[in-house]
Amino acid sequence: MQRRVPAILVVVGALLFLVWALLWPTTFLQVDVAGVGQLRVPVHEGEKVELTWIHSVSAIPVREVFVIRDGELVLMETHNQWFAAGLGEIAGRGRTVAEKNHAVAIVDINEPSNGLILRIGSPGIHHTLIAGDFKCDLSKLAPHKRARFDVLKKPRIWGWWGKRCRGGR
């Protein structure tokens, strides 16, 4: 009987740890792609998330930088070679700064972006999501589809389900 008590405690402790490990709340960036499914990427408070793409008219690379802040996706800055169609300043939304090689950036945007809707571009546009070690070319995964971006707090196990990105990490 004395040997059973420590064994039972070990088993109960292991089960409690397993339940904790699976159900502990974790923050995810969920990208819900119409007709494809949900990408679920674990993210952390303060982590940068980038959306990069090639401008469809001027063919310049564009990089949008978001941060996870207070459980929300917040647009902080955009970077591009010049203000091509649709990329210019909006009064009261950040400030423009010069970068190397005559490029420009809009910084200090601080725009809450949970619920952001994106129409994913064709494969040549390369709408690419980067968060930590995760990288996914959404244009290869689901060209011309609608995507919604949300930051959600869910049990860790929830991230095990969802769409995997072909060619991503």
Over residues 29-49, the pLDDT tens digits come to 999 999 999 999 999 999 999
Contact residues for 112 (Cβ-Cβ < 8 A; gap 6+): 72, 73, 74
Query: What's the confidence (pLDDT) of residue 67?
Result: 98
Strand 95-98 to strand 116-119: parallel, antiparallel, or no bridges (unpaired)?
unpaired
Output b/e per residue, 139-165; b: 16+ Cβ within 10 A.
bbbbbeeebebbbbeeeeebeeebbeb
**Which of helix, strand or coil describes residue 134?**
strand
Res 2: pLDDT: 59
Instruction: Please write the tens of the pLDDT for every residue from 101-141.
Output: 878 888 999 999 999 999 999 999 999 999 999 999 999 99
Record the pTM: 0.83
The span from the CA of 151 to the CA of 133, in Å, is: 17
> Per-domain residue ranges for the chain?
26-160
pLDDT in tens, 130-169: 999 999 999 999 999 999 999 999 888 877 777 777 645 4
Structure tokens, 61: 């690379």
